[in-house]
């Protein structure tokens, strides 16, 4: 296959549309069960720490499959890989819809994630392949709708659907979409990636799985702690798991650098703009998780809002991100990444700071409006920065670049959640109130004040992360500098 794909010979719109749908339903399922977990707990008679595995197992499997996707993209054709991944996801969705035991539902979530973990890196690789550099911004902007909008709308959509159906209805809704996507993919998806047929290195797969999987599990376990003796024990075990996973990952990296055909190519980091873009994306995601994790907890646990209401609070922000992603992509093609990112990170830093003064009277409208403005800022950063980084890589490294980017997003999201939840719970546990200020308050009110202190401190940390990201955006290249480098 030629290095340059003749875009006139490829029906780009149907391919992109089908892959966007596949990646959308895959990412949607990361958060679709968020508001359904209480119903599942009641249905199966299980506790919170057990039902949480439906989310944890999905994210873990996703995190394991994404690094392997670079190998799979080089091993199989676009059609083979996408249709297979979508079919596996569909099989998992079907099993989930008929599950009458928690264990079967858990297996179904793992099967779902095994398919969805491949679809996003494949979609991004295909877009880099079929669109010329000057049009990639608009194309990747469409990807931004999937990456940002799907997980954000999951809790709201599930909360609304649960008003009319059981938790199984969530899978009934997704399944027909997946079936239609599979049929459409069989018709329209063409082979556009290049097969180099790398050899299967079982040791690399094992090291990657235990390394990345252990890292994600360790950080997700830390963020699951909410104080008390049990939480301390969990955190100690989690830290041990993180250390072991880091050692395994170090072995994985060393092996990849020695292999002639690496499963995941770490030499992508020799391109400075790619490395800067990836680190910046990770920081943005760690700051983003501050709002998407903290605000629903604050609303439900401290303010008494329902899961649906907290989902509705996030909805305007998700809609803003969905509308802005393709617009931002087109702006990137004209202006480049630097000044979009500087503007966006300024907005993110300011709006994150505005969440550091939450109290028991903060209004629903305030939360929703500031969050929406924050998402507008993020829309100016996410895809332009990632696209600018991926554009620096040679075409044969695109599968590795997209796999590395998506893997680091998973890791940074877990790290961000762990850091911010830990800051929140630690601050709340060590809250020392002003005795005069709490005079006459009930014990519940004092506990709520402690929780709010934790949330505000966590948002201070998120603000600091955002400020670091803002400083880093000034080191990105302008479009003129990028064009001069290309010449």
**Is-contact 365 317, C-beta < 8 A?**
no
Match 């501050």 to its residue by tokens. 290
Task: Specify the pTM.
Answer: 0.80
Nearest to 255 by CA among 214, 210, 208: 208
Q: Which residues, 6+ apart, have CB-to-CB distance to 83 below 8 Å?
A: 182, 185, 186, 189
pLDDT score at 487: 44
Across the chain, what does the average pLDDT equal? 84
Cα–Cα distances (Å) from 78 to 15, 122, 183, in that order, read 10, 8, 15
Q: Above pLDDT 90, what percent of the chain?
A: 35
pLDDT score at 350: 96
One-character DSSP codes across 398-467: HHHHHHHHHHHHHHHHHHHHHHHHHHHHHHHHT----TTTTTT--HHHHHHHHHHHHHHHHHHHHHHHHH
**Is-contact 255 207, C-beta < 8 A?**
yes
- The dihedral sign for the CA sequence 385, 416, 405, 131: negative
Nearest to 15 by CA among 114, 72, 83, 117: 83
**Per-residue pLDDT tens digits for 220-276:** 777 554 333 334 445 678 889 999 999 999 999 999 999 888 888 899 999 999 999
Query: Which residues in the chain show pLDDT less than 70?
Result: 1-11, 48-49, 223-235, 290, 434-442, 480-487
**Per-residue pLDDT tens digits for 422-453:** 888 888 888 877 665 555 566 777 788 888 99
Question: How far apart (Å, rounded) are the C-alpha atoms in residues 262 and 255?
Answer: 8
pLDDT score at 223: 59
**Per-residue pLDDT tens digits for 58-68:** 888 888 898 89
Cα–Cα distances (Å) from 406 to 41, 120, 281, in that order, read 31, 8, 10
Nearest to 325 by CA among 370, 388, 380: 380
Q: Residue 222: enclosing H or E segment and its boundaries?
A: helix 202-223
């Amino acid at each position: 296959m030629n290095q340059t794909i003749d875009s006139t010979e490829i029906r780009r719109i149907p391919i992109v549309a089908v892959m966007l749908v596949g990646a959308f339903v895959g990412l949607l399922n990361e958060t679709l069960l968020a508001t359904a977990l209480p119903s599942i707990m009641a249905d199966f008679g299980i506790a919170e720490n057990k039902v949480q595995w439906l989310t944890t197992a999905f994210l873990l499997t996703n995190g394991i499959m994404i690094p392997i996707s670079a190998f799979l993209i080089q091993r199989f054709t676009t059609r083979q890989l996408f249709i297979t991944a979508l079919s596996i996801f569909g099989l998992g969705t079907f099993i989930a819809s008929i599950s009458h035991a928690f264990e079967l539902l858990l297996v179904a979530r793992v099967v779902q994630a095994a398919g969805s973990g491949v679809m996003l890196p494949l979609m991004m690789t295909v877009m880099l392949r079929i669109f010329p550099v000057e049009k990639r911004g608009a194309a990747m902007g469409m990807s931004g709708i999937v990456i940002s909008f799907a997980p954000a709308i999951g809790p709201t959509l599930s909360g609304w659907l649960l008003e009319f159906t059981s938790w199984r209805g969530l899978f009934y809704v997704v399944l027909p979409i997946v079936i239609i996507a599979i049929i459409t993919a069989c018709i329209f998806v063409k082979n556009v990636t290049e097969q180099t047929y790398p050899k299967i290195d079982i040791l690399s797969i094992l090291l990657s799985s235990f390394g990345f999987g252990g890292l994600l599990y360790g950080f997700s376990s830390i963020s699951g702690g909410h104080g008390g003796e049990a939480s301390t024990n969990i955190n100690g075990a989690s830290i041990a798991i993180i250390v072991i996973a880091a050692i395994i990952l170090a072995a994985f990296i060393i092996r990849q650098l020695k292999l002639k055909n690496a499963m995941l190519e770490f030499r992508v980091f020799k391109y400075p703009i790619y490395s800067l873009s990836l680190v910046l994306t990770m920081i943005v995601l760690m700051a983003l998780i501050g709002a998407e994790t903290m605000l629903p907890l604050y609303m439900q646990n401290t303010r008494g809002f329902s899961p649906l209401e907290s989902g509705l609070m996030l909805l305007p922000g998700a809609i803003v991100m969905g509308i802005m992603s393709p617009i931002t992509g087109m702006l990137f093609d004209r202006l480049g990444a630097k000044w979009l990112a500087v503007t966006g990170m300024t907005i993110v830093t300011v709006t994150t700071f505005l969440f550091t003064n939450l109290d028991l009277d903060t209004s629903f409208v305030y939360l929703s409006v500031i969050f929406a403005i924050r998402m507008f800022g993020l829309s100016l950063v996410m895809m332009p920065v990632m696209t600018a980084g991926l554009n620096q890589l040679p075409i044969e490294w695109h599968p590795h670049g997209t796999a590395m980017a998506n893997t680091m997003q998973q890791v940074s999201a877990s790290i961000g959640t762990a850091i911010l939840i830990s800051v929140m719970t630690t601050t709340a546990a060590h809250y020392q109130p002003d005795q005069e200020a709490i005079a006459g308050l009930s014990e519940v009110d004092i506990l709520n004040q402690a929780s709010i202190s934790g949330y505000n401190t966590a948002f201070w940390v998120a603000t600091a992360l955002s400020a670091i990201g803002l400083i880093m955006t000034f080191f990105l290249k302008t479009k003129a500098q990028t064009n001069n480098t290309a010449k």
